[in-house]
A and B are shown apart, each in its own frame.
Chain A
Amino acid sequence: MDVQEPGVLLQSNLPIKFGVVVFPGSNCDHDAWFAVSNNLGQKAEFIWHDATSLGDVDAVILPGGFAYGDYLRCGAIAKFSPVMQSVRKFAASGGLVLGICNGFQILVESGLLPGALVRNRGLKFICKPVPLRVETTHSPFTAEAVKGQRLTFPIAHGEGCYIADDRTLDQLEAEDRVVLRYLDNPNGSMRDIAGILSEGRNVMGLMPHPERATDPLMGSTDGLVIFRSMVSAVAQVAVPVLSGR
């Protein structure tokens, strides 16, 4: 946050704490941890999948990978992990939950987000940077972006084709819950959807990897806007609590 609105108390100097859930088979857990702690200067800790509590984290990231080997179906076993009970409660109470790639698949399997993710149209795993368009800034994940802004994040998935029935898709659009769209749809996702929000707008899932675009050495820092938006959103919510201490 460079500019503060006069009269609004922001605690943006205080780092917030991200919890990064580690399932057996998660493999982008460290990347998410490094992005928010090293590249963003926030606090971050890992949460083991059998934890029954999330501790005092301000936001939760379900990272990419192959939780439980993605056996059966991507995310289908992970949803039964003890930690997902706590994630559900955290989300229900308004906490921010970001699911990236396999994390998105787990959120969908868990029913925290609608629709499903199936095999890419070309039936192959695809790894490449893809251009995206920010469809809404009315979310704690994109508030600091500009509507229509173009972001480039890498994708790396074999099952990232987003599908849902027409009614669900219409509803997502009517409620302004499509956050990101592919400009050049790589996987056959319906209506070019790359990321969506929950009804309460505090849970977001996306297939591209914003955490892999948080360092100029990696070729892009476009992903920072997602995490910065989360930090601001948490800081704003935290104000009354902190000032009441």
Chain B
Amino acid sequence: MTPQVIETHQLTPAEYDKIVALLGREPTYTELGIFSVMWSEHCSYKSSRLHLKKLPTRGQRVLQGPGENAGIIDIGDGYAIAFKIESHNHPSFIEPFQGAATGVGGILRDIFTMGARPIAVMDALRFGSLDVPRNRRIVEGVVSGIAHYGNCFGVPTIGGECVFEECYNGNPLVNVFALGVFRHDQVFYGKAKGVGNPVIYVGAKTGRDGIHGASMASAEFTEEAKQKRPNVQVGDPFLEKLLLEACLEAMQTGAIVGIQDMGAAGLTCSTCEMGSRAGTGIEIDLKHVPQRETGMTPYEIMLSESQERMLLVAEAGREEEVFRVFRKWGLDAVAIGHVTADGILRVKDHGQVVAEIPNRDLADEAPLYDRPHSKPRRGAPMNPPQPVPNRATRAAIESDLAALLGSADICSKRWIWEQYDYTVRTNTIAGPGADASIIRIKETGTSIAMSLDGNGRFCALDPREGTKLIVAECCRNLSTAGALPVAATNNLNFGNPERPEIMAQIVESIEGMAEACQVFETPITGGNVSLYNETLGEAIWPSPVMGIVGLLKTGQPTPMHFRNPDRAVILLGGFGQTDELHFGGTQYAKVILKSLWGLPPALDLDYEKRVQRAVREIIEAGLAESAHDLSDGGLAIALAESSFGPAGIGARIAIPAQPRPEFLLFHEGPSRILVSTSQPENVLAIAAKNSVEALAIGATMKERLRIDCGSDTLVDCDLAGLKRPWETSLERMLHQS
């Protein structure tokens, strides 16, 4: 092996020496390829593993934590849910449509490979500025890719979030979350148990697509990125739908021992991981692998990331039962080898051994780095570039409110989510646009709420506090829907971990996440790490994304919108604290002042938890006609969003004179929820019981939003006019020329 060959496989000389030591000889070319993908950052988590251990992973409801294809939690009545989030950032930049589509396909397979039927998908998207034509094309491509795959597969895409920042110009983020449901006794694991059992390949034929996709996802982009287009896989959602039905049906036969999808690193990863988990070996002969191209080398077959393929181990002698199911669905199912006792992945090509590596060396012996970390790189100065101007007049506040409502991050994302089938499977109780999405489980009569959240601005200012704020908001979204948060999955999107200031962001973020998840009792059951999100040396902001699920009784959801006039509007949690230093990460600072500075809003985790408990009790007692949490854009935006419902009900609100109105209306301090109610005394009593501040700040009224401060009126707008920029601006920005 020449140093160049080793380098093009993104292995360091030290890593190569370790391979030689483990094997006791030089690897073959095929073996080098196998090691390079299994030891890539994407598959091995070599830079993050050490720190991921700090995350809480256990809880009363956790049936399966990290390490499997997806985490599993108990939802009662003998049922469980499997869920996970995964990124497809790099492929989506190179080929937005297919990159995003196969991102959906990959996470769906992670869910149904465990025996669960996927019942919900959500996505967290980050794009560069819409002023750049290329970014607009990426948005169109990614959204239609997600729609194409999810709609055809027949899983509802029920929510998510979408944010636009300059730092994602050369590096969009596409994080897809999926959730499935099954009975406890239907759970399947990726274990190759039982020496002599056949190893069966099912699904699509293997082609040359996606070779080295995992390694590509483990490197920064350079000018040549577009040449990597062949590394992006092509998805076929119809085939995946057949694969889903066939796998679930085959699992019913009782003949399947273990199963794993072929995702990143394809046949390589599925064979060695299944063997490693069971402490067994696997021997396959590539001549049996269904191929759609001629002349493929063993190297190419082992590293292909062709989509819609699964590897399963069946009970010896019962292969025919499995084959019969796959024949019914018109899918390839072929025995390509068997489980052995020696713990070795042995790959043959027409009988000739081309690779022979202990499974453990691939799956568990990957390098583990404690990479040096310094102080996190700050994305902005501490002080505002200039003093925050006085914009407290009615004209300025109304114009700033309109500007924020029409800004890319805050405006309605209807243009995106109307392209997703969010009602298929007839379980969607609360779909896109709500604080949390809610799916009912037909089998149990209970419901699952879920929310995805991230905030790159906050994390750019302080990754530790920013991440805590994300966890808090994600849980607050669930609580505002009346659900108790119970478990979480995370997607850690960062730059190059070999740079100490980036590694520091990763460490700080994980530690913040650990602390917050501990407090909210939402253990992390699995997730994904996506590093090297850099193009031409420019890293994205630290961008962890949380996906948290909560449980609630099935019933009509508490909407975020005001429903009736003359109801009390209660601000649970109070007006909150802010000052210039903690105002620099707000949407107001971004959109109106065009700058970023200081620190994220201050968070008291204990207070946050009590606010959330209070709102759940208020909802459970049937006291809330509406509930909506305060987040991007603060109080003013939450009031406007609450007023944009079908009933056309706004509100008249009074605010105190201190702090200054711009801060009070637009700061993004956490732990605050707007509730409308006909029984304010009872709501205030529940707040008091939880030692939470709650203020009656006004009343709902028809067709207008009015905000007074003393004798001054700061906002007095009719809802139709206020809603227009919010509703129309995304499409306008996408179609600007």
- Which residues of A are at the interface with B, using a C-beta cutoff of 8 A? 24-25, 27-28, 30-31, 34-35, 38, 64-66, 68-71, 124-128, 154, 156, 158, 209, 211-212, 214-218
- Whose C-beta in chain B lies nearest to the C-beta of A39? B426
B369 at the interface (CB under 8 A from A): no
Contact B154 A27 (CB under 8 A): yes
Contact A156 B426 (CB under 8 A): no
Query: B217-274: which have CB < 8 Å to A?
Result: 236-239, 241-242
Contact A31 B152 (CB under 8 A): no
Among the listed A28, A34, A127, A216, which residue makes an inter-chain contact with B154, where contact means beta carbons less than 8 Å apart?
A: A28
Contact B238 A28 (CB under 8 A): no
> Bound state CA distance, A38 and B418, in angstroms?
28
Q: Which A-B residue pairs are the 10 nearest by beta carbons? A: A27-B154, A69-B238, A156-B421, A66-B152, A31-B426, A154-B423, A127-B421, A125-B419, A212-B423, A125-B147
Contact B426 A34 (CB under 8 A): yes
With a CB–CB cut-off of 8 A, which chain A residues contact B236?
Answer: 69
With a CB–CB cut-off of 8 A, which chain A residues contact B666?
Answer: none
> Bound state CA distance, A212 and B421, in angstroms?
12
With a CB–CB cut-off of 8 A, which chain B residues contact A38?
Answer: 442
Contact B419 A215 (CB under 8 A): no
Contact B144 A124 (CB under 8 A): yes
- Once A211-B426, A215-B426 are accepted as A-B contacts, the answer to whether A65 and B154 lie under 8 Å apart by CB is yes
Give min CB distance, A61 to chain B, whole Å: 14
Give min CB distance, A158 to chain B, whole Å: 8
With a CB–CB cut-off of 8 A, which chain B residues contact A126?
Answer: 418-419
Range of interface residues on chain B?
Answer: 20 to 34
With a CB–CB cut-off of 8 A, which chain B residues contact A30?
Answer: 425
- Which residues of B are at the interface with A, using a C-beta cutoff of 8 A? 144, 147, 151-154, 236-239, 241-242, 329-330, 417-426, 428-429, 440, 442, 554-556
11 contacts between A and B (CB under 8 A): A27-B241, A31-B425, A64-B424, A66-B151, A69-B238, A125-B147, A125-B421, A126-B419, A127-B419, A127-B421, A218-B429
Among the listed B241, B420, B554, which residue makes an inter-chain contact with A217, where contact means beta carbons less than 8 Å apart?
A: B554
Contact A27 B424 (CB under 8 A): yes
Among the listed B237, B423, B429, which residue makes an inter-chain contact with A127, where contact means beta carbons less than 8 Å apart?
A: B423
Give min CB distance, A25 to chain B, whole Å: 5
> Bound state CA distance, A214 and B442, in angstroms?
14
With a CB–CB cut-off of 8 A, which chain B residues contact A216?
Answer: 556
Contact B152 A217 (CB under 8 A): no
Contact B242 A24 (CB under 8 A): yes
Contact B423 A156 (CB under 8 A): yes
With a CB–CB cut-off of 8 A, which chain A residues contact B425?
Answer: 30-31
- Whose C-beta in chain B lies nearest to the C-beta of A129? B423
Contact B153 A27 (CB under 8 A): yes
- Whose C-beta in chain B lies nearest to the C-beta of A50? B328
Among the listed B242, B419, B429, which residue makes an inter-chain contact with A124, where contact means beta carbons less than 8 Å apart?
A: B419
- Once A125-B419, A128-B418 are accepted as A-B contacts, the answer to whether A71 and B238 lie under 8 Å apart by CB is yes
Among the listed A28, A35, A124, which residue makes an inter-chain contact with B424, where contact means beta carbons less than 8 Å apart?
A: A28
> Bound state CA distance, A156 and B418, in angstroms?
9
- Whose C-beta in chain B lies nearest to the C-beta of A216? B556
> Bound state CA distance, A125 and B421, in angstroms?
8
- Whose C-beta in chain A lies nearest to the C-beta of B329? A24
